[in-house]
A and B are shown apart, each in its own frame.
Chain A
Amino acid sequence: MFVLDPEIYRRYRDQVLALCNSFQRIGQRGFSDREIAERLGLEERVVTEIRCVAERDMYGLDEWQRAIEFKRRVSREWQAAALKRPDLKEPPKPPEP
């Protein structure tokens, strides 16, 4: 089984993330694994591996918990207004990081 060397991952993670489609801008496409490999002088397979790990690694599980709370709060706020049901609204939360 191919297992990425953690040292290689640490060294190239930020560069791969910056070049791929993790942070997107309209009018400026991200690069493919092949294109990133050419730029960084790595094998394409290694870039794919770095990218896959980095995508998953970027945020911790606490971000998932924030996602759960965000969706619950925001959807209920909207429905409170749309359905005229102020009882649906949750108490205010601190602003998003």
Chain B
Amino acid sequence: MLNAMSATTREEEIKAVGRRAGARVVGIAAASAFDAHAPEGHRPADMLPGAKAVVVAGGDGPTAGAWRCPDNRVMEITGYDLRENVAVHAMADHIEREWRHYAIQAPALPVHGHAPPMSMMLAAELAGLGTRSFAAHIILNPEYGLLYYAALITTLELAPDPPLDRPACPHPGCVAMYKRIGTTPCLRVCPACLSGRVSSEGRIEESTYNRERCHSRAQTYGIGSFQKALLDIVNEDDPAQRHAKIHGDFFTKSLQAIGFYRDSIAQCFECMRVCPVGRKYRKLE
């Protein structure tokens, strides 16, 4: 549907709102497209009755400067900002205000253990913003590589964008590497979490990802480490050892991460550091 005042479609108008608010990319998926991929209870219409569309915003990851920092602790606490969520709020407000349809921010926080209520990765795929990769199955945008995704769900009917027909992973350089030495940069740097095979056609033939081990790396300091350390402390009978554990660096960092968690949601970037997709945006002066 065209905006009556200009040739802008409402899809373009909403996307423009999102980009102005900080999204790098914006895509749209049909709410019904989730049915084939997500279990009941985790689909858009389970969150917002009558959902018709899911608008997905992708926001930048760490700055190019952050990728150059030799101290990985820096990206542990600055690797994430939530601008794609700001973009989603701006678009949701816009939809309710200008188009008079219901809109909610899609719930993405994994409030029951590690299971998210709705998959932002699936939303990004269905909205044509990226495809799954060997690297922790992170959704890679073919142009920008690693982006962070948030989404809104709305009852407004919107024309969906098609999923990408050409996957971003594996990159031609990685295909060539696999042919030479049987691995890719990400698989080589983190075999503890990742494994996979490239087909003769240069596609992902198989890919596995150990999420729980990855959690110890991607969220080293946070809820999980707090729980682990707390149990250890509670079970410690020796007061001196208990004192050392409570006041030691690991538990202190865990508490800091809980207090400032929004700044440190993602704490391991090693599979992405070696990924060639989008790397051109990390080369500055």
Contacts and interface: CB of A to CB of B under 8 A. Distances in A.
Do A and B have CB atoms closer than 8 angstroms in the complex?
yes
Interface of A: 20-26, 29, 31-35, 48, 51-52, 55-56, 58-61, 63-64, 66-68, 70-72, 74-76, 78-79, 82-83, 85, 88, 96-97
Given A33-B112, A70-B217, 15 more contacts: A21-B115, A24-B209, A25-B207, A25-B208, A29-B37, A34-B40, A35-B39, A51-B113, A52-B113, A61-B232, A67-B220, A70-B190, A71-B267, A72-B72, A96-B191
Given A48-B113, A61-B229, A88-B70, A26 B132 contact: yes
Contact of A59 (B39, B70, B76, B212): B212
A97 B192 contact: yes
Nearest to B205: A26
Interface residues of B, number: 48
Given A64-B228, A67-B268, A82 B206 contact: no
A25 B211 contact: no
B115 A71 contact: no
Contacts of A66: 192, 216
A25 B70 contact: no
A59 B219 CA distance: 13
Main DSSP-derived SS at the A contact region:
helix
A1 to B, nearest CB: 16
Interface in B188-204: 189-192, 204
B72 A75 contact: yes
Contacts of A20: 115
A91 B126 CA distance: 44
A70 B37 CA distance: 34
B21 interface: no
Contact of B72 (A35, A71, A85): A71
Nearest to A88: B70
Interface in B45-104: 68-72, 76
